[in-house]
Structure 1
Amino acid sequence: MLINLKEMLQAAEQNNCAVGSYNVYNLESILAVKEAVETTKLPAIIAFGESYTAHAPIEAIASIVHTLFMTSTVPVVLHLDHAQNPSVIKQAIDCGFTSVMYDGSRLPLAENIANSQKIVQMAHASNVSVEGELGYLNNEDGSGEASASCTDVNDAVNYTEKSGVDALAIAIGNAHGLYKSTPQLNFAQLKKLHENVQCPLVLHGSSGISFADLQKAIDLGIRKFNINTEVSTTGVKALREYLAQNPYEQNPNLRLETVLKYARSQMSCKIAEFMQIFANKEKIK
């Protein structure tokens, strides 16, 4: 059952929990999310980044997700992640995405607001939710230095009220990719943002943050966490382990689908672990 992001985050707010957004790139990564959803019976956000269109057609990803989840009783969102090109956003809306993210975080505030307003108008006409971002982190692939500055409260209020976005991604010490040291989230700033901003808050770069800090972030208003690196590296680690355990000399007829299935199962377990945390089903002592 596909719903939009606004509906999902409204339910999360009512239940004082959050929902994970898991990046997908192909059939196997989508199946990993599906298996986690079926195991936990918990909702999920399936995120396909604008940059991934170089690897897979956006229409193909939409078709796979709709086919796999059309009979699911658990709510799922199909989300376009970190999009900057309005034509790609329109393409996603037209082929069945239920949520899009416009990333104008590198732009001056006024330009980010103006662009976001146009995306919101286009998306809302099709009952598609919009996530905006205020406070640049670093490159999506984890490269570059993470910004030390946090999202300003007054800017966040101004941006969300004028743009009309349904969710806001913020910067409070989080970063994309692998953290070079233990992440130090600014919970005091998160509390201020939650108290002043009316729409749900989103934390990107959640891989590598301790489960205890993730739960604290939920208590202070985060309703959506983006997880990519930990799931991706889990899959790569699984592939390396499986290939090391099955060298060519012992298994020259090893099939690709067998290797991928093992990686998929490990990724699914990692996703399910995060889902339990975000749903407040598993408390950290």
Structure 2
Amino acid sequence: MPLVRTSDLVTSARATGEPVFAFNVITVEHAEAIAAGAESADRPAILQISENAVKFHGGRVGPIAAAASAVAAASTARLSLHLDHVEDRTLLRQAHAHGFSSVMFDASKLPYGDNVKATAEAVRWGRERDIWVEAELGRVGGKAGDAHTPGVRTDPAEAAAYVADTGVDALAVAVGSTHAMTARTATLDHALITALRAAVPVPLVLHGSSGVPDEELRRAVAAGMTKINVGTALNTAFTDAVRAFLEAHPSTVDPRSYLRPARAAMGETVAGFLRNVSRRW
């Protein structure tokens, strides 16, 4: 079906107390796997393309965005297209032309005052184009310091002021998760999630969810998380499947031979997250 809007998926999820998952797209196989997993689990999902993925594709967002959109159009699942962790304002300004209904503008590396100013400008730009804007406050592990270092987690009072001053539609918060984890061993600060949910009027987003066990994710959703981002778990499934195939068939040269099981493994991973964390299952 045609792409749906990220804001619609997030609003619906928040109203029902369900999570909505955003999965990172690097290749067309990622997009196909996410669609297949969403169809299998009968759940919506967000196709999420990061600035780093755009850099991988030579700095051109159009081709991978078009491929993801085409995959969504051919799918029976409700899928949206989201541009993630955008720091480059030139890339930000391309979002609308390439079918993105949402962006995560990442000014988290800037001093607080500069973060607020840059994010407010991005939100104003998004409002003019009906683009939903997510931002980040605090430092999620794996980017700039350990997730458990004192002072890196999001402060509820600061979060409330940040949302009021920027007008963001959703807020990614630092509550103990870490980007790029390959083992699901992270523990979250559920009391902090509850406090943040009470402090801010917009949906909360959890980045670095690949390393968070299902039960921790279920508790996080119950405490107030709405959008759950997953990337590394798909890449782990992809790489493990490719490695296993090539070890068993070392003379293989046709990439379709190993991309097929890799895509299937990612699809199973997507369906697993959607089934195991949703309160419906």
TM-score by length of 1: 0.91
Identify the residue that residue 8 of structure 1 maps to in structure 2. Answer: 9
* Aligned AA (2:268): C
Between the aligned partners of 1:266 and 1:39, the Cα distance in structure 2 is 13
Identify the residue that residue 102 of structure 1 maps to in structure 2. Answer: 105
Identify the residue that residue 20 of structure 2 maps to in structure 1. Answer: 19
Identify the residue that residue 124 of structure 2 maps to in structure 1. Answer: 121
1:269 aligns with 2:272: no
Query: Residues 144 and 150 of structure 1: is their aligned pair in 2 closer, same or farther, counting only changes over 3 Å?
Result: closer
Shift of 1:172: 0.8
Shift of 1:147: 5.1
* Aligned AA (1:153): P
1:175-220 CA distances to partner (integer Å, 9 max, x unpaired)?
1112789323111111100011100000101112111110000001
1:194 aligns with 2:197: yes
1:231 aligns with 2:234: yes
- Contact conserved, 1:172 with 1:190, CA < 8 A, in 2? yes
Moved more, 85-94 or 258-267: 85-94
Query: Residues 157 and 208 of structure 1: is their aligned pair in 2 closer, same or farther, counting only changes over 3 Å?
Result: same
Unaligned residue ranges in structure 2 (runs of 5+): none
- Contact conserved, 2:10 with 2:227, CA < 8 A, in 1? yes
- Contact conserved, 2:147 with 2:153, CA < 8 A, in 1? no
* Aligned AA (1:18): P
Between the aligned partners of 1:188 and 1:139, the Cα distance in structure 2 is 22
Identify the residue that residue 247 of structure 1 maps to in structure 2. Answer: 250
Between the aligned partners of 1:30 and 1:258, the Cα distance in structure 2 is 18
* Aligned AA (2:194): K
Between the aligned partners of 1:38 and 1:182, the Cα distance in structure 2 is 28
* Aligned AA (1:29): H
* SS in structure 2 at match of 1:111: helix
* Aligned AA (1:238): A
Identify the residue that residue 37 of structure 2 maps to in structure 1. Answer: 36
Between the aligned partners of 1:179 and 1:156, the Cα distance in structure 2 is 29
* Aligned AA (2:4): I
Between the aligned partners of 2:104 and 2:55, the Cα distance in structure 1 is 18
Alignment of 1:57-96 (within 5 A): 57-70=60-73, 72-96=75-99
1:79-121 CA distances to partner (integer Å, 9 max, x unpaired)?
1111111110111222111110011112222211111111111
**Pairwise CA RMSD:** 1.8
* Aligned AA (2:280): K
Between the aligned partners of 2:82 and 2:88, the Cα distance in structure 1 is 15
Between the aligned partners of 1:155 and 1:17, the Cα distance in structure 2 is 26
Identify the residue that residue 220 of structure 2 maps to in structure 1. Answer: 217
Percentage of identical aligned residues? 31
* Aligned AA (2:91): V
* Aligned AA (1:24): V
Shift of 1:144: 5.4
Between the aligned partners of 1:153 and 1:17, the Cα distance in structure 2 is 22
- Contact conserved, 1:6 with 1:167, CA < 8 A, in 2? no
Moved more, 28-37 or 178-187: 178-187
TM-score by length of 2: 0.92
Shift of 1:41: 2.2
Query: Residues 74 and 58 of structure 1: is their aligned pair in 2 closer, same or farther, counting only changes over 3 Å?
Result: same
Between the aligned partners of 1:71 and 1:55, the Cα distance in structure 2 is 25
Unaligned residue ranges in structure 1 (runs of 5+): none
Identify the residue that residue 280 of structure 1 maps to in structure 2. Answer: 279
- Contact conserved, 1:203 with 1:222, CA < 8 A, in 2? yes
Shift of 1:40: 2.0
Query: Residues 180 and 61 of structure 1: is their aligned pair in 2 closer, same or farther, counting only changes over 3 Å?
Result: closer
Between the aligned partners of 2:121 and 2:70, the Cα distance in structure 1 is 30
Alignment of 1:158-177 (within 5 A): 158-177=161-180
Query: Residues 265 and 10 of structure 1: is their aligned pair in 2 closer, same or farther, counting only changes over 3 Å?
Result: same
* SS in structure 2 at match of 1:91: coil
